[in-house]
Amino acid sequence: MSEPVRSTVHVLTGQRLTDGVIVYRTAEGAWSESFWDGERVDAPTVRDARVAHEQAAQRLIITGIYALEVGLTAQGAPVLSMRERLRAEGASAARVRLGYPP
Amino acid sequence: MYRYDEADQQIVEERARQFRGQVERRLDGRLSEEEFRPLRLQNGLYLQLHAYMLRVAIPYGLLSATQLRQLAHIARTYDRGYGHFTTRQNLQFNWPTLTDTPAILDALASVQMHAIQTSGNCVRNVTSDPFAGVAADEIVDPRPYCEFLRQWSTFHPEFAHLPRKFKIAVTGATVDRAAIAVHDIGLRIRKDEAGRIGFEYFAGGGQGRTPVLAEKLRDFLEEADLLAYTEAVLRIYNELGRRDNKYKARIKVLIKEMGSAEFRRRVEAEFETTRHDPALRLDPEALARMKAHFVPPDYATLPDGQTALQAGRLGKDRAYARWLASNLAPHRVPGYAIVQLSLKSETLPPGDVTADQMDAIADLAERHGFGRILVTHRQNLVLPDVRIDALRQVHAALEGLGFATPNVDRVTDIIACPGLDYCDLANARSIPVAQSIQQTLADADRVHDLGPLTLNISGCINACGHHHVGNIGILGIDKQGEEFYQLTLGGSARDDASVGKVLGRALTAEEIPGAVERILATYAVLRSGADEAFLAVVRRVGLGPFKEAVYADHS
């Protein structure tokens, strides 16, 4: 079992409209394919405002934007649900795990 | 097989052209995601966990070699080099881009295929017996009736927005290989004492979170009334089915809440109207025209081949003998056999086929048959017309492709939905669980000795992996963000259809192969002989001994 979660933050995520690739919003306002690049937001008001803003601003580029919950252990390590772990792993890794080329 | 006429062709080409425009409007902002979503779903395009997924309709599971080659071309050109055959006899591409999808629909249309009504709350792909037209036990070929239903339901204006999706399955054989008891409508074609064709008509079956076996509406519906009666069933469902709660919107809930007698009464009353509609009546000329699309091919006159088959089964080549015993089915024409390709290899996920393999299967279908391939709801493929004197050649070719595993309808012939590896709705992965079970059951002799036994895995309660009707069912569930799996025993999708019962508390993925192993070991001890199948033992002794075996040291 994973370590106990001591606190939670959120990372904005969505899927690229043209190909469905999962992306995460960085602190600089760009969108990265790496979960580790995602900005961690802890204030609910900031999170909600940012989701609303990005859903409008990115409507032609990214779809299904939401704030995913990230648990943090006492050491600050992220704890994700299985679904979010698989998303964070990315499509190439998923294909390899299933026996296909990346 | 049915060939499109000019109007059919125009419809699918027009639909592809319309979708190209819709994609353009989505990309330039004239359509919002909310506006675009129902449009893409009407064309079978989902947005899944990592990518888009396009579901291609394969009407009643029947493909030509030309169509299979085109699917290979699409997989190679626009996807990642493979496709996934589903429990509804369809094919899914798991990695297309939105921008390529219009070109894919064009490519499908060029071989009389499409993705229309493979999603949404409409009548979905009509499924059937994968041995349709060739089975030795067939009473009537179901394909003409499936095609009538397909044409009637495609773009039916009244039924474009049903309360929920709607699935129809048809069988024309003595053995139900189409799982008609767990469909919204299930049809068994029969002949009466005078030799007239009709339908034993069931409705209200389904799986999902509320598994229900269908209720019989008619013992014998006359052939000519198929569409009129089905129109009446759909009309009652469309008018009275719940739209306030998607989990209670299927016809099975309506029939349960209303009572089957009252539902039947309303359908019969509606049928008094629809039966007089000439557009819905299958008159002899229409039936003859449709049946002409499905006349048997030009079979050779051959010896029955039974001596060769018997010799093969008793021969020293154990792999060939086991394959003959489990992957062949009797053909209605002497000298021919139905060959099932097991898509349950140790290397690829259940139901997956690469583009190169698709091409090779298409070649085999032309070389050893009449260029036809069928998809089974157990996620295997069928070469329906193989000469018995060519079986060794075909077996060798299939071994080379990895499709000769002698396990059809055996415990390693596992149905598995795409699960959380692909699906946005899933709670847990299915494919790795299937693969780990297959690895623990690598002894082909033991698998063979265990006899007929279905094992079905779903990654969520939507039950795309048919876990409710697996002799052994495995359901993936989410517990606080982690994957767990619930075991059920005693399900069946055949003539003795039943819904499996939950064995006990959910297990981790790591615990599942061991649990299955203990269930099988218990069965091996309890069976009265080689002829007593797993399902019969479960029904005879109940869950107790299996529960004890799985949980005794683990609770």
Most B-contacting residue of A2, A3, A13, A18 (CB-CB within 10 A), to test interface: A18
Low-confidence ranges of chain B (pLDDT < 70): 553-555
Q: Which residues of A touch B95 (CB under 8 A)?
A: 91
pLDDT at A50 over 90: yes
Looking at domain B306-401, does it have CATH number 3.90.480.20?
A: yes
Q: Which residues of A touch B348 (CB under 8 A)?
A: 99
pLDDT at B125: 96
Q: Are B333 and B303 in contact (CB under 8 A)?
A: no
Give tens-digit pLDDT for B207-243.
999 999 999 999 999 999 999 999 999 999 999 999 9
pLDDT at B347: 81
- Could you give the CA distance from residue A76 to residue A50 in angstroms, rounded to a whole number? 23
Query: How far is A98 from chain B, CA to nearest CA, in Å?
Result: 7
Q: What is the mean pLDDT of chain A?
A: 95
| A101/B81 touch (CB, cutoff 8 Å), yes or no | yes
Interface membership of B343 toward A (CB under 8 Å): no
CA atoms within 13 A on the CB side of B27: 15
CATH 3.90.480.20 domain locations along chain B = 6-109, 306-401
Query: How far is A28 from chain B, CA to nearest CA, in Å?
Result: 24
- Could you give the CA distance from residue B224 to residue B286 in angstroms, rounded to a whole number? 10
Q: Which residues of B touch A21 (CB under 8 A)?
A: 50-51
| B82/A100 touch (CB, cutoff 8 Å), yes or no | yes
Closest CA to B438 of B464, B468, B413: B413
Least CB-CB distance to B99: which of A18, A83, A95?
Answer: A18
Query: How far is A71 from chain B, CA to nearest CA, in Å?
Result: 11
Looking at domain B6-109, does it have CATH number 3.40.640.10?
A: no
| B26/A17 touch (CB, cutoff 8 Å), yes or no | yes
Q: Which residues of B touch A98 (CB under 8 A)?
A: 349, 421, 431
Q: In the numeric block, which tokens belong to residue B552?
A: 């005794």
Question: Per CATH, the architecture of B134-294 is what?
Answer: 2-Layer Sandwich (3.30)
Closest CA to B140 of B409, B332, B269: B332
Closest CA to B132 of B143, B144, B117: B143
- Chain A residue with CA closest to B27: the answer is A60
DSSP SS3 for A2 = coil
| B303 DSSP assignment | -
pLDDT at B370: 98
Give exposure, B3-18, as e/b (b: 16+ Cβ within 10 Å). eeeeeeeebbeebbee
| A20/B47 touch (CB, cutoff 8 Å), yes or no | yes
pLDDT band at A3 (very low <50, low <70, confident <90, very high): confident
Q: In the numeric block, which tokens belong to residue B440?
A: 């623990």
Side chain identity at B475, as an amino acid letter? L
- B353 bridge partner residues: B83
Q: Are B451 and B535 in contact (CB under 8 A)?
A: no
pLDDT at B554: 53
User: How confident is the model over A44-58, as a mean pLDDT?
Assistant: 97
pLDDT at B553: 67
Interface membership of B348 toward A (CB under 8 Å): yes
pLDDT at A1 over 90: no
Q: Are B422 and B49 in contact (CB under 8 A)?
A: yes
3-state secondary structure B155-178: CCHHHCCCCCCECEEEECECCCCC
Taking one residue from A and the other from B, the number of pairs with CB-CB distance under 8 angstroms is: 75
pLDDT at B346: 76
Closest CA to B245 of B203, B208, B205, B202: B208
Most A-contacting residue of B33, B40, B50, B510 (CB-CB within 10 A), to test interface: B50
CATH 3.30.413.10 domain locations along chain B = 134-294, 415-551
For residue B288, the tally of other CB atoms under 10 A from its CB is 10
CATH fourth-level superfamily of B415-551 = Sulfite Reductase Hemoprotein, domain 1 (3.30.413.10)
- Could you give the CA distance from residue B26 to residue B95 in angstroms, rounded to a whole number? 19
pLDDT band at A81 (very low <50, low <70, confident <90, very high): very high
Closest CA to B498 of B486, B488, B507: B488
Give exposure, A78-92, as e/b (b: 16+ Cβ within 10 Å). bbbbbbbebbbbbbe
Give tens-digit pLDDT for A52-79.
999 999 999 999 999 999 999 999 999 9
